[in-house]
Homo-oligomer: A and B are copies of this chain.
Amino acid sequence: MKQLEAETRPTHEIAARELLETMPLIMRTIRRQMRGHEPGGLSIPQFRTLGFLMFNEGASLSDLAEHLGLALPSMSKMIDNLIARKLVRRQQHTEDRRRLVLNVTERGSELLRQAGDMLTAFLGGTLEPLSAEEKEQVVRTMRLLRGVFGNGTNSRTSCR
């Protein structure tokens, strides 16, 4: 009863296990890489935050929370942190004064660039053993997964 017969389980169960075993491993590898190596050391969510702000200048806190899939207070705290490190600038929206207008500072954009280069190099090296086709497969699968995980399932409003 405790020993399962290798591959006789349904595919979605196997896929579930694979996701659960593989993704934390990769996340940790990346996290360590980022924490240690950079001049400033960005966490993954911080990195994503700066990246989002780079391409969505003047985004609000809610925009960010929505994109990262975080609760507002979590996002607020993270932004506090980034502002304390002078990587992000916070202003008030002139028309709707409830809203924040967030931007990456010079320093933030420089750090983001460096972190991105480092990460790209690191992941490039890690993925190197794969053939071009396998790399394509990784990209395809990620998009596939983003498609199914990115929709309703994750919407914060639907959770209780």
Binding site for B on A (CB under 8 A): 2, 10-16, 18-30, 32, 36, 44-45, 47-48, 54-55, 68-69, 119-120, 123-124, 126-130, 132, 134-150, 153-154, 159-160
Q: Is the CB of A126 within 8 A of B138?
A: no
CA distance A146 to B24 in the complex (A): 10
Distance between A36 CB and nearest chain B CB, rounded to angstroms: 7
CA distance A23 to B26 in the complex (A): 9
Q: Is the CB of B47 within 8 A of A12?
A: no
Task: Pick from B2, B47, B138, B160: contact of A15, CB below 8 A.
Answer: B138
Known pairs A69-B28, A124-B13; A21 contacts B146 (CB<8 A): yes
Q: Which residues of B contact A132 (CB under 8 A)?
A: 11
Q: Which residues of B contact A154 (CB under 8 A)?
A: 25, 28-29, 32
Q: Is the CB of B141 within 8 A of A137?
A: yes
Task: Pick from B15, B29, B138: contact of A18, CB below 8 A.
Answer: B138
Q: Is the CB of B127 within 8 A of A54?
A: no
Q: Is the CB of A126 within 8 A of B150?
A: no
Q: Is the CB of B25 within 8 A of A20?
A: no
